[in-house]
Chains A and B, each alone.
Chain A
Amino acid sequence: MAESTTVVVGGDRGIGHDLAGELAHRGRTVEVVSGAATDLCEPDAVAAELRRAGAGAPVTTVVVAHVEAAALVEVALAEMGEQAWEAATERTLRAGVVVLQQVHAVVPDGARVVLVLPTVAAAGVAGLVPLCTAVEGLRVMAKALARRWGARGITVNTVEVPLAAFVLGAAEAGTERAADVPAVPVLSEPALPARSAVDDVAGLVELLDSDAGGALTGALLVADRGTVLQP
């Protein structure tokens, strides 16, 4: 019988899907909340999914790896309509609010929350204004919640990965699915040799979920093997 459950919100695709598999492989009891099957902007639907996920054992670790599919479409801002902006930006941010509200309601003191996001907002990407807008909003929302939830011993951190890794997970670049990834200009090459971003993120989730990671909250950990080196 498991003592705790790790939930991966957005665990139905991309890095979320592969991360859920890797964390289970490492011995965790993992439940997935699908961003496609669940309307993450609906509080009741998210609450029901989190209750289901925690039915066997309390949810003590939550990974949120979700942006709306509409935000992964390249479009020039001046050419996009209000509905497209709503579907890409507003829904991604709203889902973040709803998910994090419901997570707070279900987790015990001392829980660990990790947002997984693409690195796009660090430098900005032309054609991806909606995604960059939503990602930066979510990243700083996590910082604000880290300050709020610290009194309960709950940590909230963000891990960022390259956009291709976020969309594809462990799939190889150059595969058919790689065509789904918007082009991101290469501003600098990674300092470290390539390795699976899923392994990198799984390792960081385990660190953040350990006593060793207990002092980290409100932090941004960029798991891109030394590509975006922020000032």
Chain B
Amino acid sequence: MTRPDLGGRVVFVTGAGAGVGKGVAEAFGAAGAVVGIGVREAASAEATADGVLAAGGRPVVLTCDVTDRDQCDTAIRTLVDDHGRLDALVHNAVSARSSEPTDFEHAELALWEEHASVTVRATYRLAALAFPHLEATGGSLLLMTSPAGIDGSGPMPFYSAVKAAQRGFVRALAREWGPRGVRVNAVAPLAMSPALEHVRDTAPDRYARVEALVPLGWVGDPADDIGPPTVFLCSDAARYVTGQTLVVSGGRFTGL
């Protein structure tokens, strides 16, 4: 597979300790980038750092709880101070409760705030903090959204709303930052997550029904299926692409 060459480029991936974030970080590593691995606890970045290194990239572990503005600021400054630039920021982190079904009608507002703080407020915060650095390199901001933010998921209404909010953010900010030379895009993946791995291992019949809805026949691998399109959108090969959501779902979602 031909991959974009991101040698000398610096990217920052939030929520990169596991799942999609880990896979995306490894894909950036395979493209030769310096990869900032944003995690809440540094110890949880070990596997990702090993993966980025093995893929050919240079890992940099950054403690970054995206609900903490100071930590976001410090992480971005550290990456730029130590490596001289920032070419892409990928905001992938989600609430730890994001995959739980939500009883919307009776849910406490605190649960909504948890979703919103990680996905909506942190999106604004990271974008604002990264902007001068992205403008300096002609870089790009990429948000990992979800098909739920397009279709609307009945079991996950809060998650659907915050992921959709990110898509509105992308469209508007792409118009605002385009004249400044910064691109803004989103990826909506159907990817293997810890929750889906649990289903695969404990309820194979249910998992088979999930796979049967995917025309290509499998749930995406974070590194091999979700990572490369994400890297593409952050590379010069996508220099004329902004304001878009790329649905990477094996054909499961075609309604956009």
A85 CA to B120 CA in the complex, in Å? 10
From A23-31, A62-70, A122-130, A172-180, the one touching the partner chain is A122-130
B151 at the A interface (CB under 8 A): yes
User: Which A residues, 62 to 86, have Cβ-Cβ distances below 8 Å to chain B?
Assistant: 76-78, 80, 82, 85-86
**Of B154, B168, B174, the contact of A121 (CB 8 Å cutoff):** B168
A125 touches B156 (CB 8 A): no
Chain A residue at minimum C-beta to C-beta distance from B105: A104
A77 touches B121 (CB 8 A): no
B78 at the A interface (CB under 8 A): no
> In the complex where A93-B116, A94-B109, A144-B153 touch, is A124 in contact with B171 (Cβ < 8 A)?
yes
A122 CA to B120 CA in the complex, in Å? 18
A58 CB contacts on chain B under 8 angstroms: none
User: Closest Cβ of chain A: how far from B172's Cβ, in Å?
Assistant: 4
Chain A residue at minimum C-beta to C-beta distance from B173: A129
B168 touches A97 (CB 8 A): no
**Of B158, B172, B174, B243, the contact of A133 (CB 8 Å cutoff):** B172
**Of B113, B121, B131, B169, the contact of A132 (CB 8 Å cutoff):** B169
> In the complex where A43-B109, A148-B104 touch, is A133 in contact with B120 (Cβ < 8 A)?
yes
B109 touches A97 (CB 8 A): yes
Main SS class of interface, A? helix
User: Closest Cβ of chain B: how far from A97's Cβ, in Å?
Assistant: 5
A97 CA to B106 CA in the complex, in Å? 11
Closest 8 CB pairs of A and B: A143-B152, A136-B168, A124-B171, A137-B165, A140-B164, A147-B154, A132-B172, A144-B157
A93 touches B165 (CB 8 A): yes
| Chain B interface residue number, banded | 35 or more
**Of B105, B121, B164, the contact of A90 (CB 8 Å cutoff):** B121
User: Closest Cβ of chain A: how far from B183's Cβ, in Å?
Assistant: 13
A126 CA to B247 CA in the complex, in Å? 24
A120 CB contacts on chain B under 8 angstroms: 172
B58 at the A interface (CB under 8 A): no
> In the complex where A85-B121, A141-B157 touch, is A101 in contact with B105 (Cβ < 8 A)?
yes
A105 CA to B173 CA in the complex, in Å? 36
| 10 more CB-based (< 8 A) A-B contacts, given A104-B105, A129-B176, A144-B156 | A77-B124, A77-B176, A82-B69, A89-B165, A121-B167, A123-B175, A126-B176, A140-B163, A144-B104, A148-B157
